[in-house]
Amino acid sequence: MTSHSTVLVTGASTGIGAIYAERFARRGHGLVLVARDKARLEALAARLRQETGAAVDILVADLTQPGDLAAVETRLRGDASIETLINNAGAALSGPFVDQSTDDVARLVTLNTTALVRLASAVAPRLVRAGKGAIVNIGSVVGLAPEFGMSVYGATKAFVLFLSQGLSLELAPQGVYVQAVLPAGTRTEIWARAGIDTQAMPDLMGVEDLVDAALVGFDRRELVTIPPLHDPARWEALNTARQALVGDLRQAQVAPRYRTAA
């Protein structure tokens, strides 16, 4: 990523996305800010232009709406100055699966997975042709553990991790960096929007701390950055165990425990 390239940030009006926008503006990059809230986007853009001198465009878009999503895809395909995509837009749902409406579940999956992969798909071919660029996908530690109890949300974040790992294998040899960022609970508006009381969650990480840690991983070109994980050996052990499991799969042979008795 060149020093004066442009960064497109989704979910940019507040929280993690807004801090990413501020940090990249202070690094000298132009910005394209994407979110639903026009007033907030305009206020953030005006502040960043004044404080940093950055060139800031806004795209008002609801990424669950096909027309809005298509407009962002078009910008990613056609704007050669955009060298980094921050796939941050996302939502959560509270309550058990059986109490969540089918429409709410569908919207969550659309935003957290479909929109994210479509935007990555829109920009990746151009980045590969250029031989440079970055795609940052914001996941969650919830995607590692069904025990957290947020089944659909966690499933979408498991998708984000898997996709990032797969894309890295494909794109890194062609000069495109892919990073998955896995926050734990972070003090953003996502919880209130999901109807979750943050007063019952006293250990939430600050948004600036989260983004600054993620950017350390970005600068180090980590594939998976987990800011709340204090012992990195835990992740390394999990990843090593996963690779060993894959290596022990025997496609043509049923495992003895599944063979019927003679």
Q: For residue 179, give every residue at least 6 positions away whose Cβ sits within 8 Å of its Cβ, in sequence order, or none.
A: 134, 135, 136, 137, 164, 214, 217, 218, 221, 222, 223, 224, 225
Q: What letter would DSSP give residue 261?
A: P
> What's the CA angle centered on 12, arms 8 and 17, to 5 degrees?
90
The Cβ of residue 105 has, within 10 Å, a number of other Cβ atoms equal to: 16
Which of 167, 189, 195 is closest to 179 using CA atoms? 167
Q: Is 177 a catalytic residue?
A: no
Catalytic residue of the set 20, 153, 177, 258: 153
The Cβ of residue 198 has, within 10 Å, a number of other Cβ atoms equal to: 14
DSSP calls for 148-161: GS-HHHHHHHHHHH
The Cβ of residue 250 has, within 10 Å, a number of other Cβ atoms equal to: 7
Give the phi and the psi of residue 154 in degrees, each rounded to 5: -60, -40
Q: What letter would DSSP give residue 178?
A: E
Which residues are part of the catalytic machinery?
153
